[in-house]
Amino acid sequence: MELVRWQYRNPYHDRSKDATRQFVFGPHVLTISQQPTQAITLHANTGYLVWDGAYLLSQYIYNHLSLEGKTCVELGAGSGLVSIVAWLKQATAVATDLCQYMDHARRNIQANGAQVGVQEVVWGEPLPGELAGKADVVFGSEILYLEALHGALLRSLKGLMRAHARAYLVYKDRGRGEHRFRERALHAGFRLREIPLDSEFDSEPYHLLVLTLALDN
């Protein structure tokens, strides 16, 4: 019998409403819990679901990045999927988010046998000492939809990143000012470029930005 290739999307079933979801990266099958019964709004409980951008960024990490020996910090980690995949790529990974999502991320990390740290980070506020200036790579998925937080996010990025670090941000253009993040990043002292995503989402407005500090040559 011919094996059917695993696909993220299923036209017959909306997995975003499932209490648990499975994700396949090479030989690895990750099981991630969600809390779909929570009332999800732009300002509340967004970290309890796995958004498509988290899968897209995880897919890019697994297929394209070499992370062995690198310190990776995820901002807005929610369920922790991206951090777990960074760990699969042999990174020292830390998932960060608001306090309310810490236990949710820890449960998923432990359920998948991953060794990933969990820290509270509030964008724009002082960073934990063990993270400030320590990140070789920073990841963020679907975290640009609140334009009012772009400035705080950029301050946290700058505080986390080593001199030659990279930040990889995936976002979907939902018409909420996401595109204005690019101009603010340039004004804040970053260089940026967009690179294509390998995905089942070619017809949708997803973008992957790579940011570096402008002091890099």
Q: Is residue 8 part of a domain?
A: no
Separation between Cα atoms, residue 112 and residue 96, nearest integer Å: 18
pLDDT in tens, 114-145: 999 999 999 999 999 999 999 999 999 999 99
Separation between Cα atoms, residue 191 and residue 178, nearest integer Å: 17
- C-alpha torsion angle, residues 141, 142, 147, 151 (rounded to 10): -10
Q: Is residue 96 part of a domain?
A: yes
Number of domains in the chain: 1
Q: Is residue 111 part of a domain?
A: yes
pLDDT in tens, 145-175: 999 999 999 999 999 999 999 999 999 998 8
Q: Is residue 1 part of a domain?
A: no
Domain that holds residue 118: 17-213
1 has pLDDT over 60: no
Separation between Cα atoms, residue 36 and residue 5, nearest integer Å: 27
Separation between Cα atoms, residue 187 and residue 174, nearest integer Å: 23
Nearest to 24 by CA among 32, 33, 16: 32
Domain at 169, CATH number:
3.40.50.150
Q: Could you tell me the CA-to-CA distances from 47 to 40, 58, 197 in Å, in that order?
A: 9, 16, 23
Q: Say if residues 85 and 58 touch (Cβ distance below 8 Å).
A: yes
| Banded pLDDT at 13 (limits 50, 70, 90) | low
Q: Say if residues 211 and 190 touch (Cβ distance below 8 Å).
A: yes
Q: Is residue 7 part of a domain?
A: no
Terminal Cα distance for the chain, rounded: 53
Q: Is residue 11 part of a domain?
A: no
Separation between Cα atoms, residue 9 and residue 71, nearest integer Å: 31
Q: Is residue 172 part of a domain?
A: yes
199 has pLDDT over 90: no
29 has pLDDT over 80: yes
Q: Is residue 151 part of a domain?
A: yes
Please list the residues that pair with 119 across neighbouring strands. 96
Separation between Cα atoms, residue 52 and residue 206, nearest integer Å: 9
